[in-house]
Amino acid sequence: MSSYVTKKTPGNTDWFVHDRFGMFIHWGLYAMPARHEWVKMREKMTTEQYSKYFKYFDPDMYDPKEWARLAKAAGMKYAVMTTRHHEGFSMFDTKFSDYKCTNTPAGRDLIREYVDAFRAEGLKIGFYYSLLDWYHEDYTLDRNHPQRDIPDGDAFNEGRDMHRYAQFMRNQVTELLTNYGKIDILWFDFSIPANPSDRPCWQAKTAPEWEAEELIKVARSLQPDIMIDNRAGIEQDLYTPEQYQPQAWVTHKVTGEKVVWEACQTFSGSWGYHRDESTWKSPEMLIQMLINTVAFGGNLLMNVGPTARGYLDERAENALGVYAKWMKYNSRSIYGCTMAEPEFTAPFGCRLTQTQDGKRLYIHLFDYPYKFLELPGYAGKVDYAQFLHDASELKIREKNPGHFGDGQSASDDLLVISLPEVKPNVIVPVIELFLK
């Protein structure tokens, strides 16, 4: 059994730390400008200027069954889709706003179709829900608001009431957690702490302004097992490092305990569909990020930003294909795996994962080591070794007198694995060790 214990949380994280790999989906009106989901804020657009997207939103090629198939083939076990992003537009049929997909040419509940399609493929269902709202008439200015720099900020805020806004969020979350069956993850985004450089008309927005305690209470009363992230400002089940890869197991700031965590990452620099963005990650990076995450006991939530017509463009499909190809043969080193026990040290250029039951250890060869892989400290612990992708035996020797009999690498605890000279045609080959 793995010796690592994480801080207790209110929701059910058991399935989550087994499944390890999910699909994030950022989809909303911002797919139309196609230049980042923060476009309204970045370009300081008014709601009036932004309204053309509402008017013409028509994802005629939306086929979430296809998304779900691609996700499943990529080895993803769950998904988290934006039900509403900071632009304030609901991708579901809500009673509490007219600013919703059913009132656009799309004409249907896009979230309902997502839920049905992903559930049918056996994936668990997550909802992203933005705490920010650049549309709602009760939402005040803050440092991230599109109208943050308008000269008379007080006039803008006049009559706006964040209590009403908090009630609106509770209403919508109630709909989302009542009308779509079992929901496994609720992913709030995000809080805005006060900053010394804030204008007086900007409001900090954290747990008290979101009325997060009540919001979470509502969510838990409807879906007791649900996992909730920490971004509403009250610690719940999930830490969510964004756009960076932790280099160690994420720990609690105060107690130092290990926590349940999930890195969220993009294929390129934007979450929403970005036509002209070109920093797409290489296949090696994509696979290595997944391995690095599990090697530190975390999950990876990899994002796609579908086009405004509703399909995943070629670049996204290719990136998912990279995962599909690798996971088809190597997923055993990901599912049900976690950080290796401290008794095993990763050799140079390699990453380790270990099954949570402790029985198998996986060595991921980021740098292919030529003919031999030397593993100090492993002697006496390994029963059998093979490549994971084809289950071909890899010969092991212990207490090796050095490759040339010169005693160079001699050590009592050394185990040496013989490898083919030529790296197999796998982006990251994996050695599977059956432990004694």
- The residue ranges that bind ligand GLC (CB under 6 A) are 26, 37-38, 189-190, 242, 264, 271
Nearer to ligand GLC, 57 or 271 (CB): 271
Nearer to ligand GLC, 244 or 348 (CB): 244
Residue for token pair 């089940």: 237
Least Å distance between CB 383 and ligand GLC?
42
CB within 8 Å of 196: residues ≥ 6 apart: none
Do the Cβ atoms of 26 and 271 come closer than 8 Å?
Answer: yes
Nearer to ligand GLC, 86 or 360 (CB): 86
Neighbours of 204 (CB within 10 A): 14
In terms of Cβ atoms closer than 10 Å to its own Cβ (0-12, 13-18, 19+), residue 169 is buried
Least Å distance between CB 241 and ligand GLC?
9
Nearer to ligand GLC, 130 or 353 (CB): 130
DSSP-derived pairing of the beta strands 337-338 and 350-355: antiparallel
Structure tokens at 49: 């200027």
Structure tokens at 323: 């995962």
3-state secondary structure of 80: strand
Nearest Cα to Cα of residue 183 among 229, 226, 217, 237: 226
Structure tokens at 70: 């691609």
Least Å distance between CB 292 and ligand GLC?
18
Nearer to ligand GLC, 242 or 313 (CB): 242
Do the Cβ atoms of 85 and 135 come closer than 8 Å?
Answer: no
Least Å distance between CB 144 and ligand GLC?
8
Backbone angles phi, psi at 363, to 5 degrees: -110, 115
Q: How far from each other are the two terminal CA atoms of the chain, in whole angstroms?
A: 13
Nearer to ligand GLC, 138 or 242 (CB): 242
Least Å distance between CB 191 and ligand GLC?
10
Least Å distance between CB 332 and ligand GLC?
29
Least Å distance between CB 226 and ligand GLC?
18
Nearest Cα to Cα of residue 189 among 136, 243, 129: 129
Nearer to ligand GLC, 67 or 271 (CB): 271
Nearer to ligand GLC, 38 or 344 (CB): 38
Least Å distance between CB 375 and ligand GLC?
38
Do the Cβ atoms of 378 and 361 come closer than 8 Å?
Answer: no
**Rounded Cα distance, 106 and 54, in Å:** 10
In terms of Cβ atoms closer than 10 Å to its own Cβ (0-12, 13-18, 19+), residue 200 is exposed
